[in-house]
Amino acid sequence: MRRKKYLEAYIDEICLRGKNEMAQSISKTASAFKSDNLESFTFAEHEVGLLFGNVQAGKTAQMFGIICSAADASFPLFIILTTDNVALQRQTFERVQADLDRCGFCICNERDKQKFIDNALTKPVIIVLKKNSRVLLQWYNTLFASSFVKGNALFVVDDEADAASLNTLVNKKRVSTINRRLMGIRDASIGSMYLQVTGTPQALLLQSSMSAFKPAFMCYFEPGEGYLGGDFFFDYDEKNNTCVNFIDMYSDDITNDGLYLALVHHLVASAQLILSGEKVCNFVIHPGIRKASHNIAREEIKNRIEYLKSTICDEDAVDALKVMYNKTVPENTVQHNFPEIYAKIKDIITGKEMKILVMNGDTNVGEEEYSTGSNIIIGGTVLGRGVTFPKLQTLYYTRTAKKPQADTMWQHSRMFGYDRDPGLMALFITKHLYKLFSNINATNDSIISQAEAGIEKIQLYYPEGINPTRRNVVDLDLTDLIAGGTNYFPDDPDNTDIIKLDAILNQFIEDNYYLVGLKLILQILDYVVPSDDFSLDAFKNVITTKIAENAFEQGVLIVRPGRQVTQGTGSLLSPNDRELGSEFNKSVVLTMYEIKGDLGWRHNRIWVPNIKLPEFINYYDVR
């Protein structure tokens, strides 16, 4: 009897759980990965790739599908890396056992060194490890001492690869311990496929070519039907986003402040879900990173619970519950009538179904504690990567930072996911923070557009005030920042074919300026040879990115023949042209000056470009 292939067995397992759409998505991702990357792999090279999708969009299932496809392609040895969190490592190990044990793998925990040695690759082995220095060193020694590891290719799946794996000492010209340990494990075998997995790839995309962790290829997987993500919560059309509640709009009165109304919403959502047969409804409060803020939030929510308990039969409390009830329109269940909801809320708030859980370094809250009942979870950093809260219907987010980082903030979006009811969803947030998240979402959409367009060098750009990631994992010597709204021109350029350039530009000299397609601007720049002070490729990459986002986006072209500007004066544009370009603050503006005469340039006649990108945005380019 033919043994099922590993991917086939895994897909069957998913289908048996009734998740046919998920099975189709996994099969599509794994098949594409096989044809694009596995079939050309030589098993005697070290290659790094990136698998990314939306936060909490099912990346674990997708990476399991790729592991199965790689096992079918004769990879015998797999390591899954998790962040240095005991609960998360255990959760991942249990998920691997539940999903892949029946597919034919030998699955090892951190303590299963003898099991790994005894298996001797008779079955493909999966080892689940924390990115902890001690754990990685122990397994490096085990792998290095093994007689069958050196001659076989290793497949590493680095979950949340941007979190702890990168070299945090790159700007000090040293190598951090975890980074060094991971490279040692990779090099213990003759070849490796190192697959970075994350929903926030900013730090990985900003790795320079000098980094051993720069992805050589990237795969994006689309979220499945029913997923609620950035476009649901952070659409720029705030008026149409009914789930968003701006805390700034409420008063300090306990009966009309944001936290009280968030509690009321949580109770209405909890009653609706529990009456509909669901076993849990969660509410997350994210006040900041400091433990003191968690304790303050706990006391504040306890005060509001006690207040509601004491007034639950008062007319004002009933009216507040009724107003919130009328705002919620469940889409996944039939809405229960208000008397049923009200009675259930009284049961919840006076009984034992409601819990307040604080999650931080001082507490040890297990997944089982928020898997049933009506729960209020308070925390900071712990509420980020890898932690999933089932039926999270209410989020109260007030965490601020002096220099917010896009990837860190996006990992706080615990409300993203599949099991949320859109009609019962509520986000309580300040207008300022909402705008930051909206800008991050726009760049995430841009990254996806570039990946789908097949652009190899992904461009990142963010409004002033947002950093893409933490500075200590990006080689600052090899990363250029281009400020939008600033005029840039090469100090000593050349033209590849001035006659052909004349033929294009002479069509645009009659009017003061022209709106043109960005592809024409790229064509013009192809005739420019920049000097070392001008990163022409970076500007072209930005323009290519904008085309990927919107193939019909227009730029501004200003052509000025017969100018006399001395080379090396530090200024190219006339005051009038500078002012004209500044009028188009949301567009790419290319000004082309034809300079004639012996004025110090390479030739007595030359076309010199000046580029200005849209204002108030910083563009990042890695050399």
- Give per-residue pLDDT as tens, 389-408: 999 999 999 998 888 999 99
Q: With 50 as the cut, is the pLDDT of residue 37 above it? A: yes
**What is the H or E stretch that residue 575 is in?**
helix 575-582
Q: pLDDT tens across 422-457, in order?
A: 999 999 999 999 999 999 999 999 999 898 888 888
Note the pLDDT of residue 578. 96
Give the percent of the chain with pLDDT over 90.
82
For the stretch 47-61, pLDDT in tens is 999 999 998 898 999
Q: For residue range 506-522, list pLDDT tens digits in order.
A: 999 999 999 999 999 99
Specify the DSSP element, H or E, that contains 119. Answer: helix 113-119
444: tokens are: 């995430």
From the number of C-beta atoms within 10 Å of its C-beta (0-12, 13-18, 19+), residue 362 rates as exposed
Query: Across residues 143-170, what is the average pLDDT?
Result: 93
* 1: confidence class by pLDDT, cuts 50, 70, 90: very low
Only one residue has tokens 């039939």, namely: 334
Per residue in 581-616, pLDDT (tens digit) is 999 999 999 999 999 999 999 999 999 999 999 999
* The overall pTM is greater than 0.95: no
- For 214-271, how does the pLDDT look when each residue is reduced to its tens digit (9 = 90+)? 999 999 998 988 899 999 999 756 555 789 999 988 877 777 799 999 999 999 999 9
List the structure tokens of 125. Answer: 């082995």
Q: 103-122 pLDDT, tens per residue? A: 999 999 999 999 999 999 99
Interatomic CA distance for residues 623 and 577, integer angstroms: 31
Q: Half-sphere exposure of 419 toward its Cβ, with a 13 Å CA cutoff? A: 15
In the structure, what pLDDT confidence band is assigned to residue 148 with cuts at 50, 70 and 90?
confident
Beta-strand pair 125-130/77-82? parallel
Q: Given the DSSP bridges, would you call strands 217-220 and 46-52 parallel, antiparallel or unpaired?
A: parallel
Residues 6+ apart with CB under 8 A from 380: 286, 287, 288, 289, 290, 291, 293, 294, 360, 399
Q: Are 199 and 52 in contact (CB under 8 A)?
A: yes
Residue 19: band (very low, low, confident or very high) from pLDDT cuts 50, 70, 90: confident
Q: Which residues contact 557 (CB under 8 A, 6 or more apart)?
A: 508, 513, 514, 515, 516, 520, 521, 524, 590, 592
